[in-house]
Chains A and B, each alone.
Chain A
Amino acid sequence: MLHRFANPARFSRIAATMLPWVAGVTAILFIVGLYFALFASPADYQQGETVRIMYVHVPAAWTAMACYTFIAAMSAISLIWKHPLADIAARSAAPLGAGFTIIVLATGSLWGKPTWGTWWVWDARLTSVLVLLFLYLGHISLTHAFDNPARGAKAAAILALVGFVNIPIIKFSVDWWNTLHQPASLTRLDGPSIDPSMLTPLLLMGVAFTLYFVTMLLVRMRADLAATKARALRLNAAE
């Protein structure tokens, strides 16, 4: 099963067929999601219109953590089963994850100032998300730190797996310790504490962000495969 998709040529073919569909659905979901988030949903009883920041902030946070989990899984596959496609998947995903993390930190800061009265505090949730950004940046740097790409991939894969310990810390930081950041609204034992009129745009944006990640990942992996092939051809021609 793993070997079937690990064939780069086959992967490239499947990705090329999938891309227009995934990209199209992503665009539609963004249009519908943003319409609901910005126009067709009510203001919050306490935060007022500031609540709309949540429809970008929370999906970006989900995607940033899902992307890191994906990189960790790809790193394990790369280290254990030595699939070259897993390395390509990991290094294609890292800059996307870093981007999502920057969106989380920026929108959170913009929300924090009017709501809490501060741009930034060093509580466990905010600090662990900042650590996530540094893990992404470290992963990107390590990937490119060696002349031999295979060594860079191996070092980055080890960092990704060690850093994976941060993901449950981010998720449960708000439950384990007192934080200024509020606990989860969706994954609660007694059901979501978000009104359905606000949950709809949030979930739409969540799916839109996830599909945007998938689209960009497919594009970047195909570009990476093409670049690797071009380099190999150039080396052959030079000999």
Chain B
Amino acid sequence: MKRKHQRLLLVLGSLGLVGAGAALVLTAVEDSLVFFYTPADLAERNITDDRLFRLGGLVEEGSVQQSGSTILFRVTDFTGTVPVSFNGVLPDLFREGQGVVAEGTLGTDGTFTAKQVLAKHDETYMPKEVAEALKNSGRWQNGAATQ
């Protein structure tokens, strides 16, 4: 075997090992790589009180209420739904049917108290006219592209 073939095998072998190592590490720490939990995730996990975490999903249609300076709404992933209360400034993109990520704590009554609410943008880009045309023709899929 020539020297350069040895080096080729060495480089390929090392790359394979580094890749496998990275895959193992990423699988092991998967929980902390996830930016938010969905309402369905919450049902599977035991979130202890006062633990700060992020909750993500869609703002349920017709769920947004204002009581004083507090905004109440429900976050849903169509499997589970979590009521959220928030006292602060909402991003411009916040609206019903829109994806949001809220950071805060889950109370004993099952209400999520958010300290911060971020809007999640989906990967769909289109002009206003196209969006309206889709809505008019009934081919609009609300929130279908979230996550």
Contact = CB atoms under 8 A, between A and B. Distances in A.
Contact of B120 (A42, A116, A161): A116
Interface residues of B, number: 43
A54 interface: yes
Interface in B6-36: 7-8, 11, 14-15, 18-19, 22, 26, 30, 33-36
Interface string B88-130: 0111110000000100000000000000111111111111111
A116 B86 CA distance: 16
B45 interface: no
Given A116-B118, A178-B147, A197-B127, A161 B91 contact: no
Contact of A194 (B19, B117, B125): B125
B85 interface: no
A186 to B, nearest CB: 9
Interface in A165-193: 165, 169, 176-180, 182-185, 188, 193
B127 A195 contact: yes
A162 interface: yes
B38 interface: yes
Contact of A185 (B56, B120, B123): B123
- A interface, how many residues as a size bin? 35 or more
B28 to A, nearest CB: 13
B127 A43 contact: yes
Nearest to B5: A80
B36 A178 contact: yes
Contacts of B52: none
Contacts, number: 117
B130 A162 contact: no
Nearest to B26: A169
A169 B22 contact: yes
A164 B56 CA distance: 31
B125 A177 contact: no
Interface stretch (A20-28, A45-53, A139-147, A217-225): A45-53
B125 to A, nearest CB: 4
Contact of A193 (B33, B91, B131, B145): B145
Contacts of B125: 44, 47, 51, 54, 185, 193-195, 198
13 contacts: A45-B127, A54-B125, A76-B11, A115-B93, A117-B118, A118-B116, A121-B35, A179-B35, A180-B118, A180-B120, A193-B125, A193-B145, A195-B126
Given A183-B123, A195-B127, 20 more contacts: A44-B127, A54-B125, A82-B4, A115-B92, A115-B119, A116-B93, A117-B116, A117-B118, A122-B35, A162-B18, A165-B19, A169-B22, A176-B33, A177-B33, A180-B35, A180-B101, A180-B120, A182-B120, A183-B147, A198-B125
Interface of B: 4, 7-8, 11, 14-15, 18-19, 22, 26, 30, 33-38, 56, 89-93, 101, 116-132, 145, 147
Interface of A: 42-47, 51, 54, 76, 79-82, 114-118, 121-124, 161-162, 164-165, 169, 176-180, 182-185, 188, 193-195, 197-198
